[in-house]
Amino acid sequence: MTYEELLQALHLFGFHESDQLTIRRIKERHRTLLKNVHPDLHGDAATGQTRAVNEAARQIMDYVNSYRFSFNQEEFYRQRPDEYLRRQFAADPIWGGGSIREKN
């Protein structure tokens, strides 16, 4: 697969090369697109469109499935900013959810 073919597949799915995608989002878009072009609903004329959508999905998933994932701490917190904030402020009595005792 060439980069141009990957771009065509992304654009068919309505994605842009700068989008941050998850496998879940790709699969959801694939299902949505198939519903819109399925031959059972739209006749034999949609067969070519169904093939194009399935081929685009195959190309995108081939790329995603061959991607190397990093599991180091820096990458984890970059991907999960909520966990970064929780780690940073968990011990803080105001931001961490702890209660402030009233002074008498």
Q: Are residues 7 and 30 in the same domain?
A: yes
Q: Is the pLDDT of residue 96 over 70?
A: no
Inter-CA distances, 88 with 72, 84, 95, Å: 17, 6, 10
31: DSSP letter:
H
- Does 78 lie in the same domain as 54? no
**Average of pLDDT values for 6-35?**
94
For residues 83 and 48, state if they share a domain: no
Tell me phi and psi for residue 61, to 5 degrees.
-70, -35
- Number of structural domains the chain divides into: 2
Q: Do residues 51 and 75 both lie within one domain?
A: no
CATH of the domain at 15: 1.10.287
Q: What confidence tens digit (pLDDT) does each residue in 53-93 have?
A: 999 999 999 999 988 877 888 988 888 888 988 888 888 77
pLDDT at 102: 45
Residue 75's domain comprises 69-97
Confidence of residue 45 (pLDDT cuts 50, 70, 90): low
Cα 39 to chain centroid distance, Å, stands at 27
Q: What's the mean pLDDT in 7-27?
A: 94
Of residues 102 and 83, more confidently modeled: 83
Same domain, yes or no: 57 and 77 = no
User: What tokens were used for 27?
Assistant: 């699969």
Q: Is residue 59 domain-shared with residue 74, that is, in the same domain?
A: no
Residue 104 pLDDT > 70: no
More confident residue, 101 or 7: 7
